[in-house]
Amino acid sequence: MGNLSDENKMTWRKELDKLESEDRLRRLSLPQGWIDFSGNDYLNLSRHESVIEAAQQAIAKYGTGSRGSRLMSGNQPLHEELERALAERLGYESALVFGSGFLANLGLLTSLLKKGDACFADRLNHASLVDGMRHSGAKFYRYEHNNIDALRQLLKKSPVEGRRVVVTDSVFSMDGDFSFVPEVVQVAREHDAIAVVDEAHAIGVFGTDGAGICRDLEQDQRPDIITGTLSKALGSYGGFVVCSETVRSLLVNRARGFIYSTGLPPACAAAALESLRIIKDEQQQGMFHLGDQLMNKAATFYDMLDSAGLPLSVFQSQIIPIRVGENGPTVRVANRLREAGVIATAIRPPTVPEGTARLRLSVTLAHTEDDLQKAARFIEKSFREEELL
């Protein structure tokens, strides 16, 4: 049919077969199992009664879509309300909501940077940050994961003509470890660079009122700009940037993924707003912060895996990687677990460096202690069956 010639198809088939032979082929599947460790709905808010209700009410009032770009007719009161709430919660002047976290990062870095500028990024930053700096036309440097000295050396050595941006995740997606935000910000300041931090995995989970890791730092240790997602702990969909009023205007005028893409559906904005409210109210009413509940659960699970002798790194967050190394055994363990009804993602290159394939488990508040115990036993069994333990 059309230009999907047999030749094209054969080439692609070959490329896909090569991935398959290297155990790197990705496939879509419907999550089927009694326990899912692959999701990012950390606080189980996507199923919270009042979050669902808020989304339903927004649909009834505003319809299912936002009908246009925010710059055309798509701007809605809920977008602006959500932006005020995010700016206030994270302690910045203003905020801009995007169609996704990926678009927010792409839009931010391509707006801040152009040819002649330079971007300095942690090697394990999220793909959306990598793509953002690539598309910006700026020269980019990737420093060894969490190595502040390496960052400092790069900043010292690189030419200083254009604008400079330093960017890091605050909690890294694949290892679940933290970056040294105050140090990154300080080094950036010393070298006249703008500091950007992506709090995608921290929003809702860490910090006062779930405002992320940066919220509780001293004022002069906080980054210039923070990005995040509504799609993880907030249980909704969409992304955002919190920043100064000027940067917000810049984004509205420059970020192509904001200008030429339809505004976030009202239901997504309403759900995120309700999640933000729940996270704060639970804390104020003296109830145990949802993020703390999650961390307790994750620590319990970590201990179970640790006592089984599984190869873990130090405990840091709700994201727990189990090291395997080669792709083949990682995929086989994940398949064994899937057969047992446990969904855990096999993380392989190019997402992580060659030879560091791992199983990645994220704990959520939907998991019961009994789930975790059973899952830990299955994981141990699968590792033994693959002779990894």
Name the residues annotated as catalytic.
173, 201, 232
Element (H, E) at 167: strand 164-169
Rule CB under 6 A: say whether 100 interacts with ligand PLP: yes
Integer Cα distance of 302 and 314 in angstroms: 9
Helix/strand/coil for 247: helix
Q: Which residue, 104, 137, 139, 102, is CA-closest to 121?
A: 139
Q: Which is nearer to ligand PLP, 237 or 378 (CB)?
A: 237
Count the alpha carbons within 13 Å of 148 in the hemisphere toward its beta carbon: 13
Rule CB under 6 A: say whether 317 interacts with ligand PLP: no
Q: Which is nearer to ligand PLP, 46 or 229 (CB)?
A: 229
Give the nearest distance from C-beta 166 to ligand PLP in angstroms.
15
Helix H segments across 47-205?
Answer: 49-62, 77-90, 101-112, 127-136, 148-157, 181-190
Rule CB under 6 A: say whether 146 interacts with ligand PLP: no
Q: Pick one of 117, 177, 198, 282: the residue that binds ligand PLP (CB under 6 A).
A: 198
Rule CB under 6 A: say whether 360 interacts with ligand PLP: no
Q: Pick one of 168, 173, 330, 356: the residue that binds ligand PLP (CB under 6 A).
A: 173
Structure tokens at 132: 């953002």
Give the nearest distance from C-beta 175 to ligand PLP in angstroms.
12
Q: Which is nearer to ligand PLP, 41 or 274 (CB)?
A: 41
Give the nearest distance from C-beta 176 to ligand PLP in angstroms.
11
Q: Which is nearer to ligand PLP, 169 or 274 (CB)?
A: 169
Residues 152-171 that bind ligand PLP (CB under 6 A): 169
Q: Which residues of 81-92 are buried (b: 16+ CB within 10 A; e: fewer)?
A: ebbebbbebbbb
Integer Cα distance of 276 and 210 in angstroms: 8
Angle (deg, nearest 10), helices 266-284 and 290-307: 80
Residues 66-95 that bind ligand PLP (CB under 6 A): none
Give the nearest distance from C-beta 230 to ligand PLP in angstroms.
7
Interface residues with ligand PLP (CB under 6 A)? 100-102, 105, 126, 128, 169, 173, 198, 200-201, 229, 231, 239
